[in-house]
Each structure stands twice: as structure tokens, then as C-alpha cells.
Structure 1
Amino acid sequence: MNVELRYLHAFRAVCEGGSLRAAAASLHRTEQAVSYQLRKLEEALGMPLFRRGQGPLVPNAAGERLLAFCRDMGRDLAKLHEAMRDEPAQPLRIAAVSGFGRYELLPLFREGPLADVPIRMSFPTAEEVVRQVETGASDLGFVHLMLPHGALRLVAVGMEQAALIAPARQALPTLDIATLAEADYVTYDESDYVFATWFTQVLGEKPARLRSVAHFEELEEVLDWVAAGRGLSIVPYACVREAEARGDVVAVGRENKPCLNTIYAVMDPARTHPLQERTLEVVRELLGA
């Protein structure tokens, strides 16, 4: 038995309207279309549902039972709809590279314009961000470099600034290749791309080799190491603001020679979250895209 929901809808409209004409008007269909749906319903059930004769279409005993079922189903559907509306929204699962995610994105959800949005946020590498969106583990990703992917969309949402940072209590290095090639550096996961971008944009070339005296997963340790005078680093400037305000580190030459890098949103066109577009609009506004 194959009974389509639209056939039941037409049946109930006829019963409550008393005629094909009334049902057709309420359903915004032709009388012929409503008549066809009633016929298909009776064929699927293998029995007549109305007392045929002069005057209004009146359901027979089988029709009365089916009408009661339709009304119960309508009430149950209304209750289900209300229950669904009362359920809390599913968290927006976000994966973002650490610098942008922790220092630019997270504050938008903590005390910014997205504070009402429930989230689950992680800060993996750029490659892992793409993998999480690809597998459905995350609804939305943010990366600092273009990683082409056949099934996913990578859309530029704005720019972030990278900065060379040095200890505030030591003499600041000059911005030339010879000097910076001899310096010690504090590196971190994915710093190769950030370092290369900064050197290329600010000085036009990158030294063949840089000396790393310490390597960390997270940027907090990088800032602490630089503040302690253990080396220089190049990080997203959003990470530096508080440490610079405290007088721990200095962003060298940032105003005169800014380094800008594109931030991309990573999405799966086949899977979207109701809060995804709103989040992207806020991020674009933040980053000036």
C-alpha cells in the first residue's frame, strides 16, 4: 500500500469542505486534481471512502475512521513541530587555525555579536581543519592558506596581519635580511607558512635557513618565550595585542611594513548549519571583507 501524504490532505479537505469545489479552493488546486487524488487514495486502500449520491460528499464508515486518523495525525504533527521549536539549537562545530581561531574568532562568541550561538570549537592545523569539514566532524572551518579541495568550498572572508615580534626589554632588530638571518627564532606548528609570507611581503625574500631555538604547538608559549628574550618570532598580530600592551613584546615595523594574509572559510556545500551564514557575515564584517 502506497498512500501519499498529499492524498490524505486532499481527503480531509473534502470531508471538512463537503465538496470538491470547496476542497479545491482551500487547497488552491483544480477540482479535477482533487478528484484524481481521492481516486488514487481509494485505489491504494482498496475501498470507497464516501457515500456517493446527491448533495455533499459524506465519508462512509471507513472514511470516518480515516478522517479521525488524519485529524489525530495533524494534532501530533503540530505537537512535534512545537517540540522541535523548543529544542535547543545544535551547536555550530567550528575548526579554526589557532592564531585566528583563539584571538579573532572566539571573542565573537564569548562576548561579541555571536554570543548567543552555541558552539564547539577546536584549533587544529590547517590540513586538519579541512579534514574535519570533509568528514563532517566540523560544520565550518577557517584556515590561513588556500588548500584546494574538489568537494569543499574555500571562500576568502578577509585578511589578518602577521607581525615580527621581539622582546620589549632588548634592542630591537633592524628589518634587513642580513640581520634577521642571524637571529634566533621561536617556531610553532605551521609557522613555516607564516614566516615565509612575512619575509616575502616585507623584505622581498626569505633567508635560506632560520635557526629555531624552541618549537611549540601553541602561540601562548611562543609569546612567553619571546618575552623572556629567548628569540624572535612571526605570529598573527591579533595574538600580540595584550602582550604588547603589557610591555612584554614589541611588533617590529608593523605600522610601516604590514604583512597581510588571507583567511579562508571552509565549507561543505552538501552539509550546512542554520547558523553558518550568520557567522560568516559577522566574520566578513570583522575582517573587512
Structure 2
Amino acid sequence: MNVEMRYLHTFRVVCEAGSLRAAAGILHRTEQAVSYQLRKLEEALGMPVFHRGGGRLTPNAAGERLLTFCRDMGRDWEKLHEELRDTVVSESPLRISAVSGFGRYQLLPLFRNGPLADIPIRMRYPTADDVVRHVESGAADIGFVHRMDAHERLSHIPVGAEEIVLIGSTRAQPMPSLDFESLRRADYVTYDESDYVFATWFTQMVGMNITSLNAVAHFEELEEVLDWVAAGRGVSIVPASCIVDHEAQGDVLALRKPDVACSNTIYAVLDPARQHAAIARTLQAVREHAQL
């Protein structure tokens, strides 16, 4: 038995429309063409599938069973189409732009050996402003920044928090005290994006921002900052996740007030008009890791 798919589609439309005329309008065919396809379907099946009379076509018992099959097949096809589409999308790398501290030390491990290890990625670590520009232009599917800036089209979704700490070298003595005057006199190693991070820490820990700093070195990336601090060349303020290895080696010490921590919210930047299949999983994993 060879039943053409178009005959089944015509049969379903006729059943749901209730007449040849209505079905012909939906299918953009003549009534004669629709009647011909129904006749060919019944010939292929070897049995009638309609009760005919009164100008309406009502499926008989065989027709009702065939209609159920057609509807199930339609749902299966839609499901298959979604799965195929998601497969194609998921095979394309998830393009991520993230500020360096969060991106390198919290986000990347989730993809390297964590719950997102099966997702192909392209990761970049620009400044927060460039993260937003990458998502806005379509160069990135998702971004992560440590501040929320109003944007008419992009969404900023809080997904986690990071602790920010003042760090110094275990080789340098004395360490600065956590009071305004001592902090104002200290030598600082700064980096791209450090203005916002420093301001957040100063405001939360001493109640005001110290805008005039003695910056002894400036770097683009945090790796150089940590090396410089470890060598006793100054102090800095960085995300706590960055210093785990240096603390373990005994090179760097985080200076904290007892029972007081400085935290900063991390935001995912998304364009609602563009969605990669892996974004939902990524957001879930980040939220679980950051325990927001």
C-alpha cells in the first residue's frame, strides 16, 4: 500500500473543515482537486473513510482512526522538527563574553570540567562595556558583567554574586590596616575594570570611595596583578575566586574584616530576540554554582 503524504494532509483538513468547499479554501485548491485526492486515498486504503450525505463529509469508524493517526503524526513531526532544530543550534558553539575575573575563575571551570563540559564554546574576556557591545551586535550569544547598565533592548539578569577582597603579599610587611587613612596611603596595583571593583569595595568596607590612589602599576589582566602583588609590589582589590591558587601557595593574603564580606552581583546580558539552545542550561548552572 502506497499512500502519499499529501493525501493524508488533505484528508485531515477536510475532516477538520467539515466540507469540500471549506477545505478547498484552506488548501488553495479547487473542490475537484480535493475530491480527487480523497478518492485516491480511499483507493489506496481499499475502503471508504467518510459518511457522505447532506453536503458534509463526516469520517466513519475507519476515518476516525485514520484522523487520530494523522493528528498523532502531525504532533510527532513537530516534535521531530524541534529536536532537529535544537540539534543544529546546539552544535554551533556558544559564544560568550565575560569580564575577566568572573569569566576566567568561575564561569570557565563550568565548561572545562563541570556540568557544561559537553557544550562547545568560544569565550572572550573584554571589559564590561565591550561585553554589552558584543551581545548587542550579535558577536556574543550571552555576556556576563559585574554591573547593571540600563539598555533599551538587552536584558540584564542577576545570576550570582562574587566576593571582592583586598589582597596583599605575605612577603610584605606591614600589611595595610582596614581603615580609611591606612588604605589611602597604600600602593595599589590596578587593572582594566578596577575602578568599579575598587569603588564597590571601598564603599562597602569603609563607607566611601577613595578616588585618589597611589597606583604603582596597571595591567590589562588579573594574572599580572596577582603576580605583582605576590612579589610585594603593592596591594589590589580583586574577586576572591581569582586568588585561590595564590593563597594555597602562600603568596597572597586576603585581608577581610571579621564577619564582614564585600559582595557584588553578576549579571547575564541577553538579547531576547536571539537565543542559543545552550543558554538556559548555562544560566541554571551559573545560578547553582554562584548560589544566588
**Is this contact kept in 1: 2:178–2:257, CA < 8 A?**
no
State the Cα deviation string for residues 147-188 of structure 1 (Å, max 9, x = none): 110100001112111000000122222111111111110000
| Structure 2 counterpart of 1:29, from 16, 32, 43 | 16
Matches within 5 A, 1:175-194: 175-194=178-197
- 2:164 aligned with 1:155: no
Task: Name the SS for the 1:195 alignment partner.
Answer: helix
Whichever residue aligns with residue 102 of structure 2, its letter is F
**Is this contact kept in 2: 1:98–1:123, CA < 8 A?**
yes
**Is this contact kept in 1: 2:24–2:34, CA < 8 A?**
no
Residue 215 of structure 1, CA deviation = 0.3
**Distance in 2 separating the partners of 1:14 and 1:35:** 16
Measured at CA, do residues 31 and 200 of structure 1 come closer, stay the same or move farther in structure 2, by a change above 3 Å?
Answer: same
**Distance in 2 separating the partners of 1:245 and 1:232:** 18
- 2:108 aligned with 1:106: yes
Task: Name the SS for the 1:145 alignment partner.
Answer: coil
Residue 260 of structure 1, CA deviation = 0.4
Whichever residue aligns with residue 152 of structure 2, its letter is G
State the Cα deviation string for residues 91-143 of structure 1 (Å, max 9, x = none): 11110000000000000000011111111110000000000000111010000
Residue 206 of structure 1, CA deviation = 2.3
- 2:263 aligned with 1:281: no
Residue 146 of structure 1: aligned partner = 148
- 2:33 aligned with 1:49: yes
- 2:270 aligned with 1:270: no
Residue 7 of structure 2: aligned partner = 12
Tell me the number of residue pairs that the alignment of Structure 1 and Structure 2 aligns: 249
Residue 253 of structure 1: aligned partner = 256
Measured at CA, do residues 274 and 181 of structure 1 come closer, stay the same or move farther in structure 2, by a change above 3 Å?
Answer: same
Residue 136 of structure 1: aligned partner = 138
Residue 256 of structure 1, CA deviation = 3.4
- 2:230 aligned with 1:227: yes
| Structure 1 counterpart of 2:40, from 58, 65, 85 | 58
Residue 49 of structure 2: aligned partner = none
**Is this contact kept in 2: 1:134–1:268, CA < 8 A?**
yes
Task: Name the SS for the 2:228 alignment partner.
Answer: helix
**Distance in 2 separating the partners of 1:14 and 1:170:** 80
Measured at CA, do residues 38 and 95 of structure 1 come closer, stay the same or move farther in structure 2, by a change above 3 Å?
Answer: same
**Distance in 2 separating the partners of 1:265 and 1:251:** 27
**Distance in 1 separating the partners of 2:187 and 2:234:** 5
Measured at CA, do residues 255 and 28 of structure 1 come closer, stay the same or move farther in structure 2, by a change above 3 Å?
Answer: farther
Task: Name the SS for the 1:165 alignment partner.
Answer: strand
Whichever residue aligns with residue 130 of structure 1, its letter is V
TM-score (ref. length: structure 2): 0.77
**Distance in 1 separating the partners of 2:9 and 2:275:** 39
- 2:209 aligned with 1:206: yes
Residue 96 of structure 2: aligned partner = 94
TM-score (ref. length: structure 1): 0.78
Residue 117 of structure 1: aligned partner = 119
Task: Name the SS for the 1:29 alignment partner.
Answer: helix
Measured at CA, do residues 279 and 250 of structure 1 come closer, stay the same or move farther in structure 2, by a change above 3 Å?
Answer: same
Measured at CA, do residues 51 and 221 of structure 1 come closer, stay the same or move farther in structure 2, by a change above 3 Å?
Answer: closer
Measured at CA, do residues 275 and 254 of structure 1 come closer, stay the same or move farther in structure 2, by a change above 3 Å?
Answer: farther
**Distance in 2 separating the partners of 1:14 and 1:114:** 41
Identity %: 51
**Is this contact kept in 2: 1:164–1:254, CA < 8 A?**
no
RMSD between superposed Cα atoms in Å: 2.8
Residue 255 of structure 1, CA deviation = 5.1
Residue 286 of structure 1, CA deviation = 1.0
**Is this contact kept in 1: 2:110–2:116, CA < 8 A?**
yes
**Distance in 2 separating the partners of 1:113 and 1:119:** 13
**Is this contact kept in 2: 1:186–1:233, CA < 8 A?**
yes
